[in-house]
Amino acid sequence: MTPLLLTLLVAGGERPTLAIVPPVSIDGADTWLGLAVADNLANALLRYQRQDKKSGRSEYPLNVFSWRESTAAARAEGLDLRRPLSPESVNRLAKQLGSRYVFTGSYRVKPGKAPQVLLKWRLVDITRDRPPKEVRVTTNLATLSRRTDALVAAVLKGVGERPPKSKAAPAKYRTQALKAYAGGLEVLAQQSLDPYAQVVLQPIEIKKAHVLFAEATRSAPDLLRAWVGLALASAMLGELDRAEKEILHALAHADSFEPLNAVGLSYLYVRQNRPQDALKALNDAVNKQPGFMGALGYLGSAHLRAGQPKKAIEVFRTYKVRVP
């Protein structure tokens, strides 16, 4: 049995598989908010770990499809994510991905001196006939990032986890930083992050994304995902030296597993004609977090591009083990 497949099997038994769909703006305004919520949630769930009772070691117990994989699957199914998904559409999406749980929802913004965000979300378990209860959350833009911890805890409980109460204060990012970061994500959402994929965005659009990510880092220097966004945009523009500095900044300041770092690093390595380093970055990520489904998909593709069909088959077999 190959090391990667063995790692994923040892990681154990039946792991909850969760797909995250960005909440939809009901009034069509502030569309960046849905991506901000989805990206914060995906990042936190990919980083979530608990101690194994038998071995005492830390483990990552979830399989996570981020909003990128979920939106790609929705497009493949012909689903319109600009509107709330019907129960039938949620089931189609879950089956397309092989996911038991789907996070989805909607929101509206109530204007005023301190605009309020009225978020309605639900965690759908497609193995159950009864529809889930809709959870309503009211917050304001200034406290949006701090409410992520409560949302993560609620979702974890919904998939059967018992997360300990965090002693650390939740990250607090200024609204300006979140808005700029999510605005950059909206631009790059139209572009595959597979480094071998053709860049379909126009240079002016990529430059816009870079400007937005730069604004986010100025407002919140510790928002490391924005630094990775900078590096991705720079690499797409062919600014490889600048991209390297930006991704190195993210790596240097990460004190724990940061999922997006591996994606940014592998993208840059391919652009630098260093395919083996790209493979290592992705391998390290999925060995660390076996349920990092986006990186697992990129890894299989990278092995194929590198002329390693046997290793690609191993990865795709592993993928099937994760989400049969």
Q: What is the pLDDT of residues 5-58, one digit of tens each?
A: 434 433 445 789 999 999 999 987 788 999 999 999 999 999 998 877 777 788
Domain boundaries, the chain: 15-158, 175-322
Give which of 181, 201, 203, 183 is closest to 192, Cα–Cα.
Answer: 201
Examine the pLDDT at 162 and tell me if it is beyond 90. Answer: no
Cα angle vertex 69, ends 66, 75, to 5°? 135
Look up tokens 């430059």; give the residue.
Answer: 207
Determine the pLDDT at residue 8.
44
CATH number of 15-158: 3.40.50
DSSP state of 146: G
pTM of the model: 0.91
CATH value of 175-322 in 3.40.50.2300, 3.30.110.40, 1.25.40.10, 3.20.20.480: 1.25.40.10
pLDDT in tens, 186-215: 999 999 999 889 999 999 999 999 999 999
Confidence of residue 103 (pLDDT cuts 50, 70, 90): very high
pLDDT (0 to 100) of residue 35: 95
Query: What is the C-alpha separation between 307 and 316, in angstroms, rounded?
Result: 15
Could you tell me which residues are beta bridge partners of residue 138? Answer: 118
